Structure 1
Amino acid sequence: MDNILVYSDSVSWGIIPDTRQRMTFAQRWPGVLEFHLNENHHNVRVIENCLNGRKTVWDDPFREGRRGVDGLAQVIEMHSPLQCVILMLGTNDFQETHDNKASMSAQGVAKLVSVIRNAPIEADMPVPKILIIAPVTIINPCGIIGYKFTGAEKRCAGYAKELEKVSHDLETLFLDANKWVKVSERDGIHLDEDQHLLLGKVVADFLSENKVLHSP
């Protein structure tokens, strides 16, 4: 069995836009990913580690435990052996509590890649492959958490391209979610259910086509 770890935030946690409710595993994209890979005769388990408000390397002044870099090495150790780690983070780096630019957040993801590759796994276990997914671009943040993202559209400009540069430099896999899915009009930050379905299928096809997993 190939274990895939999804390390992400509320977008992948499956928050229903403009609510505090959560989609079911079958509705959110990591669950769709698992279903489609197994449907295509891969033997796969998708492990979710997705935390609302998670950033790459920055603290949240109001909520504990939101630095994605903290404890990541132990998460890798905990779930090893892992065939692949999927990183889709950065959206919360652009909250109004931080004056981050796209290049700074991308360097945060670069730090996460380094932590994954240097995690204290057992000697006979593989260092997992890494897929960086550029999250959907924030557009017109609104609704019950929109105030947290005031001005985020400007701060996140060019983030996908910056992540692609990091991926190239660090020799990871890369996928830009913006080419297939878009944010919900209900909050401008998260994904509607149909977009989760689409993203899960896209990621499943990507992993298969790039031979990330063992052959069925």
Structure 2
Amino acid sequence: MGHHPGTRNRLAFDKRWPMVLERALTARGSEVRVIENCLNGRKTVWDDPFRPGRNGAGGLAEAIELNAPLALVVIALGTNDFQATHDISAWMSAQGVGRLVDIVRQAPIEPGLPRPDILIVAPPRIEEPKGDNIFKFVGAARRSEGFAGLLQAAAEAKAAHFFDMNGVTSASLVDGIHLDEDQHMAVGEAMAPDVRRVLEMG
């Protein structure tokens, strides 16, 4: 998250959708703190053969315990599952997200602390990769076809909440994968009403 399309840089924290979401919630009267835990190239449950530490399942339970009590955990992963290093289908990636839901719910938090709600977020549909992503994401558009629908089904099966970025924006026209700065702004603003409803339900 926060990768600046077409460059090796990252957007400033306040330009990424989690911080945009926090500002939007605060403006609507919600007292919240959004804790961003992102890493470029992170996959759901698979290791990266070139860069260690990109398996999203690794350390997730500890992160939940570290930040407890949490009202809501937002899982926005899957895009990097479709890198060319693995022949992962959309169904397999959705299953990976489901596994992350299980890990969150089984995290060893202190007795008496509440278990957080979970929101699964579908990323924008992968377009044909451009620039430096051509080789890294070769075949990704085909293998990720139908991913949003499968994520929604996984959310329903796991009794989790669901938000689809595709209803807000497409992937960046610069690289076909990530979000441009204005797209981060749009996603954070659009997600705020849904997140507020979840928080109020809890």
TM-score range normalised by the length of the shorter chain = over 0.9
Query: What's the counterpart of residue 199 of structure 2?
Result: 212
Query: What's the counterpart of residue 137 of structure 2?
Result: 149
Matched, 1:102 2:98: no
Query: What's the counterpart of residue 185 of structure 1?
Result: 173
After TM superposition, the score normalised by the length of structure 1 is 0.91
Counterpart of 1:26, as a letter, is: D
Query: What's the counterpart of residue 42 of structure 2?
Result: 54
Q: Distance in 2 between matches of 1:181 and 1:80?
A: 32
Counterpart of 2:180, as a letter, is: D
Query: What's the counterpart of residue 163 of structure 1?
Result: 151
Matched, 1:123 2:141: no
Q: Distance in 2 between matches of 1:97 and 1:211?
A: 36
SS at structure 1 position matched to 2:94? helix
Deviation string, structure 1 residues 71-96 (Cα, Å, up to 9, x no partner): 10000000000000000100010111
Deviation string, structure 1 residues 127-164 (Cα, Å, up to 9, x no partner): 10000001111101011233100010000001011111
Query: What's the counterpart of residue 161 of structure 2?
Result: 173
Query: What's the counterpart of residue 8 of structure 1?
Result: none
Query: What's the counterpart of residue 60 of structure 2?
Result: 72
Q: Distance in 2 between matches of 1:144 and 1:55?
A: 19
> Conserved in 2, the CA contact under 8 Å of 1:94 and 1:152?
yes
Q: Distance in 1 between matches of 2:201 and 2:124?
A: 29
Structure 1 position 21, deviation (Å): 1.1
Once the two structures are aligned, what percentage of the paired residues are identical?
Answer: 50
Q: Which runs of 5+ in 1 are unaligned?
A: 1-11
The count of aligned residue pairs is 202
After TM superposition, the score normalised by the length of structure 2 is 0.97
Q: Which has a greater percent of strand?
A: 1
Q: Distance in 2 between matches of 1:129 and 1:200?
A: 18
Q: Distance in 2 between matches of 1:24 and 1:41?
A: 24
Query: What's the counterpart of residue 76 of structure 2?
Result: 88
> Conserved in 2, the CA contact under 8 Å of 1:138 and 1:189?
yes
